[in-house]
Amino acid sequence: MNAQALWYLSRATGLVSFVVLSLVVVLGATIGRKGRIPGLPRFAGVGFHRNAALFAVALLVIHVGSAVIDPFVPISLAAVIVPFTSHYEAVWLGLGALALDLGVAVVATSLLRRRIGFHTWRAVHWLAYAIWPIAAVHGIGAASDLRSGVLLDVVLVTICAVVTAVVWRCWVALAPKLTPAV
């Protein structure tokens, strides 16, 4: 595979994995404590959330792998794992490595959920809310083509969707506490 194809593969899978990650966060925020998306049975919401997350992980593996083997940009495997050690775009790639490391923790604890218990899983799973903005800043900082045009529109739509879902989730959680007792 030539370097240009690897560059396009890395960019495309990075963007699509971010869009799918955004969908995962939106689904996670809307599923809520009862484990369901309003209007859908529980298995549909949780299953869709889980499968979308696995798809995002698969895309992320391709994104990282193609970036590492791309001869145009010197990204070492160590820089992918250890944040802020890259000699190329240290801050932006460091944020990507940090998001990846946090994502590995979320995925690992999700796979081990029955063994580690619900409370441990949930505590680690809250990292998903940190992963998303870190990944967003990584993408916008590392990929200059995301800063204008249609790709910027895609990023802005995903940001609006995630912010809306998280605000809605907070509102639903806080609304009963804000309503005066009658």
- pLDDT at position 91, please? 96
**pLDDT tens, 133-168?**
999 999 999 988 888 899 999 999 999 999 999 998
**pLDDT tens, 34-93?**
667 767 777 788 888 889 999 999 999 999 999 999 988 889 999 999 999 999 999 999
Tokens 């000699």 locate to 87
Q: Indicate the pLDDT class of residue 182, thresholds 50, 70 and 90.
A: low
- Determine the distance from the C-alpha atom of residue 84 to the mean position of all C-alpha atoms in its chain, rounded to a whole number: 19
What's the predicted TM-score (pTM) here?
0.87
Question: 3, 72 in Cβ contact below 8 A?
Answer: yes
Gap between the Cα atoms of 111 and 116, Å rounded: 10
Tokens 């955004």 locate to 22
Quick count: other Cβ atoms within 10 Å of Cβ 181? Answer: 3
Tokens 């990650």 locate to 21
**pLDDT tens, 18-37?**
999 999 999 988 886 666 77
- Spatial CA neighbour of 162 closest among 22, 66, 41, 45: 22
Exposed/middle/buried for residue 2 (C-beta within 10 Å: 0-12, 13-18, 19+): exposed
Tokens 């595979």 locate to 1
